[in-house]
Structure formats: C-alpha cells, structure tokens
Amino acid sequence: MPSPARCYYLEIYGCQMNVADGELLAGILEADGWTPTSKIERADLILVNTCAVRERAAQRVIGHIQSYRPLKRRRPQLRIVMAGCLARFGGEALAARLPEVDVFVGPDAYRQLPALLAEGGPRRATRHDPRETYAGLHPRRQPGVNAWLSIMRGCNRMCSYCMVPLARGRERSVPAQTVVREARAIVAAGFPSITLLGQTVTSYRDGERDFAGLLDELAEIDGLRRIRFLSPHPADFDRRLLETLARHATICRHMHLPLQSGSDRVLTAMRRGYTRAEYLELVAAARDRLPDLAITTDLIVGFPGESDEDFEATLAVMRRVRFDQAFMFAYSPRAGTYAARRLSDDVAPERKRARLEAMIALQETHARERYAAWVGRTAVVLVEGPARAPAGHGYGRSDDFKDVVFAPAGAAVPEAGELVTVRVGSATSHTLKGMQVAGDR
C-alpha cells in the first residue's frame, strides 16, 4: 500500500526574486517527494519564504509565523521552515522568538532543505556560498503567461541602506548556456513571456558575454514573445544596451530604473555610485533611442540627513522624468547596514510621512498624464485572462508594462498568451481601458 503523500504549504513574501526562489524551493521539495497543497490544515510542512528589506514587513512576517503556534501545539509533527533573507539574518535572537520554526534556511542553502528536514530537530543552514547559482535545478513555476528566470544572484553594490548584499552575498552570474537552455525549456512549457531577474542585471557577465550579449541570444528564441528584466542599475548601464533593446522587438519597452533620491548629497550618502545629472543623461539617452519607453523607479524619502532642499531635488527629478509608476517608501534603518550603524535616523516620522504623501500625490499626477497619452492609440497586449471587472472583458499587459482591460472583439476573451491589439479609449493612473481591434487575431 503506498505511503500517504507528504504535503507542503508555501507562502512567499517580498520581491520577484523571492517569488522565483519560492518556485525553486517548491521544485526542490517536489523532487524529494513532497506534494503542494493550498489548504494549510492538510500540510505536513509550512514553508515561509521571507524578505528582510524593510523592517515593518519583516516584523509582520515574524508575527505571522508566531500565529502558527496553536497549530503547532495541536499537531507537533508539523514542520515549519523559514527560508530566505530574514532567515539568513535572524541568528539566535530570531530562533528564540520563533521556537515553532524547525528549520532556518538562507538564500544559498536551498539545496540542503531535504537533508535538513530528514535530520529532524531544529536546524540552521544560513551561510553564504559564493559558488551557488542553482544552475541545473528545476523550479515549479506557477501557471500563467510569464516565467521568472534568475540570471544572477547576490550584489556587489553595498548601498548604505540596503541589506541585500549581506543577505544574498556577492554577485555571481548563471552561465549563459544554462540561461539560454532554461529559457528554451520555459518556452517549450508554454510560457510566452520571460522576466529575467537579478539584483543588478546590468552587471551580468559570463566570461566575455555581458547582459546585452545575453539578451541578443535570448531574443532569437523561437516562440518567445516578450522579454523583461529587473532591475538595471544606473551606475553600470552600458549605453550599448540601448541599441540591443532597440534592435529586438521581443524586448519590452519598459525599464525599471531605481533613482532613490534626486539629491547628489543624499545619493553620495546612499553610496549609489551615480549623480543626478548622470541619471538624467541616461534617461534622456534611453528616451531618445526608444521614444515609447516606459520608465518606472524606486524612491526613498527621509534618508538620514535629508533636508527640505534634498527632498525638493527629488521632486524636481520626478518632474523632469515623469515616471510611469514608482515604488515609494519612507526610510527605515535595517540592522547591519552601514546607514544603520553609522548614520543617525534624524528625519522625524511625521516629516517622513508628509514627504511621502507629497511624493505619492506628484507621482499620481505624472502617472495619469503618462497613461492618458495612450488614449486614442493602439497597444499590443499580451492576454493574461479574463478581467475581474467588467464581466466579459479581458486583461493583459501592454509592451510597456501597463495593465490593460479590454472588451474582446468576439464573443469570448482571447486565450491567455495571445497577443492582441487594443484601441485605448480611456485611462486611469494605473490602467488602460479599451476595445480589441477586430480581425487582429
């Protein structure tokens, strides 16, 4: 009689890299005989893949795991695993706060998870491995039209506020041959779109092949309709990359280019490695070569020492660039970073809140303008499925990464993965709305 299946329940917090790592962890578990379940009460294992970038988010994750204590008391055989960046950093103090956790596994130790579970008892594997890229493993990807593909791990930048290099170690690139082989397998599995992931993808290098060279190879894969990438770094953005983007229609006209601050003084304190003028020069060059390019960004307010003048400098850059969207946050110190150790968190919380509210309001204005510019034009949309509302409408993303809701040309919404042409009739600051052009399928 076959033994009952061992079931795991997976929760993922944080960025797209964590989503990709969650799929990697799922693949490792399933290769070891585990079966996924969407019902936590059926799980023999709860796996929580965590993020440590922001303090409040980290504390919420810890509180969430603590809420499993009653479940663990009722079912002592239940195993709980904390994976990811927060597991890497917690140490004994975190273990003391989370006695219900059986295994702590860091970003470079996922291969060890089956052995750690087999050993029983509390276990930790959180050391960096400068050689680990997880090449050759097979993630369990979620169904959909887009697949995440990590092309590098770690980061060498050491921005003063960021704990990613501390959590994920130094940069190492997945061999290009492995990336291309995995991309072909992704397309063969039915995914028409791939998003390449790395902390700073523009620093990718495999021997003589850089990121632009890798994109050249990937863009030639038959059946691959769209390539996106997250995230380039302004300090190592080779202008030759713009020519690569312009040369291949497969590469989407969208670039997430983190600014963080528009003040040179603050950028220096952040150790970002570029100036305001250099950032603006890059944006100008990108839009000159790719006029329809959408640019999104990350912004931090209230960094230590940020004055009213520094904040106004950031708003001024926003007015110059007019980002399509932005992820905006108030600074909070992260233990272990240079900023937390050496800089005083001296911007009052109420001032941070006021600045963040002003920044969000300005960005909403710019987003409305950027989206409204599409009204009356046609957008090529990769269909993801039916829209939540209105009934009978389809949903997808344009080439420049805008959400699009559209009325289908026929009786039914086109199949997920199809490319359709949509004439945009209206727009909000976050969504384009329109009607599929008849006869384009």
* 175 and 265 assigned to the same domain: no
Same domain, 306 and 329: yes
Q: Are residues 73 and 51 in the same domain?
A: yes
CA-to-CA dists, residue 267 to 125, 300, 341, 353, angstroms: 35, 11, 18, 20
* pLDDT given for residue 317 in this prediction: 98
Q: Which residue has the tokens 């905006």?
A: 328
Average pLDDT over all residues of the chain? 95
Residue 1 is assigned to a structural domain of this protein: no
Average pLDDT value for residue range 175-203: 97
Task: With a cut of 70, say whether residue 243 has pLDDT above it.
Answer: yes
Give the lowest-confidence range in 114-128, 140-154, 306-320, 358-372. Answer: 114-128
pLDDT (tens digit, 9 = 90+) per residue, 315-350?
A: 999 999 999 999 999 999 998 899 999 999 999 999
Q: Is it the case that residue 3 has pLDDT exceeding 80? A: no
Point out which residues pair with 63 in neighbouring strands. none
Neighbouring residues of 354: CB distance < 8 A, sequence distance ≥ 6: none
419-437 per-position pLDDT tens digit: 999 999 999 999 999 999 9
Up-side HSE of residue 409: CA atoms within 13 Å toward CB?
Answer: 12
Regarding whether 401 and 363 lie in a shared domain, the answer is no
Among 1-5, 37-41, 170-174, 338-342, the range scoring the smallest mean pLDDT is: 1-5
The pLDDT value recorded for residue 441 is 52
pLDDT reading at 4 higher than 70: no
Which of 331, 347, 373 is the last residue in one of the domains?
373
User: Which domain CATH number covers 347?
Assistant: 3.30.750.200
130 domain-assigned: no
CA distances to 32, 42, 70, 102, 115 from 76, in Å? 22, 14, 10, 11, 20
Task: Kindly report the CATH number assigned to the domain that includes residue 175.
Answer: 3.30.750.210
Do the Cβ atoms of 399 and 380 come closer than 8 Å? yes
Residue 380 sits at φ, ψ, to 5 deg, of -85, 125
Residue 83 sits in the same domain as residue 154: no
> Which of residues 438 and 381 earns the better pLDDT score?
381
SS (H, E, C) 376-441: CCEEEEEEEEECCCCCCCEEEEECCCCEEEEECCCCCCCCCCCEEEEEEEEECCCEEEEEECCCCC
Q: Do 356 and 293 belong to one domain?
A: yes
Cα pseudo-dihedral 130, 136, 141, 146, rounded to 10:
80
- Domain co-membership, 246 together with 270: no
Q: Are residues 18 and 50 both part of a single domain?
A: yes
Instruction: Let me know if residue 136 belongs to a domain.
Output: no
User: What does the pLDDT read at residue 366?
Assistant: 98
135 inside domain: no
Q: How many whole angstroms separate alpha carbon 292 and alpha carbon 289?
A: 9
For residues 12 and 104, membership in a common domain is answered with yes
Q: Is residue 441 assigned to a domain?
A: no
- Three-class SS of residue 85? helix
Q: How many CB atoms lie within 10 A of CB 248?
A: 14
Cis peptide before 333 (omega within 30 of 0): no
Tokens of 350: 């109420």
Q: What is the pTM of this model?
A: 0.94
Tokens standing for 204?
A: 């990718």
Asked if residue 213 has pLDDT above 90, the reply is: yes
Q: What is the CATH number of the domain that holds 418?
A: 2.40.50.110
Q: Are residues 354 and 263 in the same domain?
A: yes
CA end-to-end span of the chain, whole Å?
A: 51
Look up the domain containing 150 and give its range: 144-252
Per-residue confidence band for 2, with pLDDT thresholds at 50, 70 and 90: very low
CA distances (Å), origin 173, targets 85, 214, 216: 19, 11, 17
Question: pLDDT tens, 67-125?
Answer: 999 999 999 999 999 999 999 876 778 889 999 999 999 999 999 999 999 987 779 99
Is 42 domain-assigned? yes
Q: How many domains, in total, are found in the chain? A: 4
Residue 51 pLDDT > 60, yes or no? Answer: yes
Q: Are 35 and 56 in a shared domain?
A: yes
C-alpha to C-alpha distance for 186 and 183, rounded to whole angstroms = 5
What torsion do the CA atoms of 97, 100, 103, 107 make, to the nearest 10 degrees? -50
**Considering the domain boundaries, does residue 139 fall inside one?**
no
